[in-house]
Amino acid sequence: MKSIGIAGFGTIGRVVARHIEASELPLKLAAVSAGDRCRAEAAMARLKTPVPIVDTAELVALSDVVVDSAPTAAFREIAETTLRAGKTLVTVSGAALMQWPEAADVARAHGGRLILATGALLGLDAVRAAAVGTIHSVTMVTRKPVKSLIKAEHVVRNRIDLTAITEPLKIFEGSAREGAIAFPANVNVAAALGMAGVGPERTRLEIWADPALERNTHRIVVDSDSARLELGIENIPTDENPGTGRITAQSIVAALNDLVAPIRIGT
């Protein structure tokens, strides 16, 4: 039986908790941590079996595996505490991980492990397989509804007015590394794609705000010596946070299931 702690009990964390409760696999929810304790207590009351709401250190102590679903700014503390305790961390914070290159060394030194779940992307297995050979280029075009981007740091900082646009507007073009820094809460998928393939610096990224869209969409083209991949996904946003797709939490659940399931599908 794996004891699971959830760091951040918001949109993603609550979905993961409900799936753990309903799972027939050997998983149990041990504890959660949250920045807003009152909201966390209200959400906890809706679970069949409430668990303690604790700080990061106690969460790690109570858990075999920690799920990071906290805001990006909290990633480093959660990740470092978990890895130094020799525990496993499951996260979708690719942008934050990309900016902490020492993560692998910390995990190796203390017997910890970090799993970057697929999140709102697809095809990472194929990209990783292609990277065993030679990848010539990787391009990703992200298009999101205005409501998914209007509060993004890059948009606010550069005073980009999206409220009145009537046609698609390109608001970023550059490398995946630059995009992840500019949009730390919006393009974790680009960071994950970069780390799976040719690296964030060589992965090209465009971000568009599109008033005609209702879903967060990603189109990826990978050209390699083993295959040419053209991948597309349209993610249904969550009601609570339009910038987060529903499939993101489900990808974390799938990663947890892989830790204990007798058969694993995928690389």
Catalytic residues: 218
Instruction: Report the distance separating Cα 151 and Cα 236, nearest Å.
Output: 18
H helices of 23-135, in order, are: 37-44, 56-62, 75-84, 94-98, 103-110, 124-132
Backbone angles phi, psi at 85, to 5 degrees: -85, 0
| 17 neighbors 29 (Cβ within 8 angstroms) | yes
Instruction: Report the distance separating Cα 195 and Cα 104, nearest Å.
Output: 13
Instruction: Report the distance separating Cα 162 and Cα 150, nearest Å.
Output: 6
188 is in an annotated binding site: yes
235 is in an annotated binding site: no
Instruction: Give which of 135, 140, 128 is closest to 223, Cα–Cα.
Output: 135
| 247 neighbors 265 (Cβ within 8 angstroms) | no
Q: Which residues are annotated as a binding site for NAD(+)?
A: 120, 188
Please state the residue numbers annotated as binding site.
120, 188
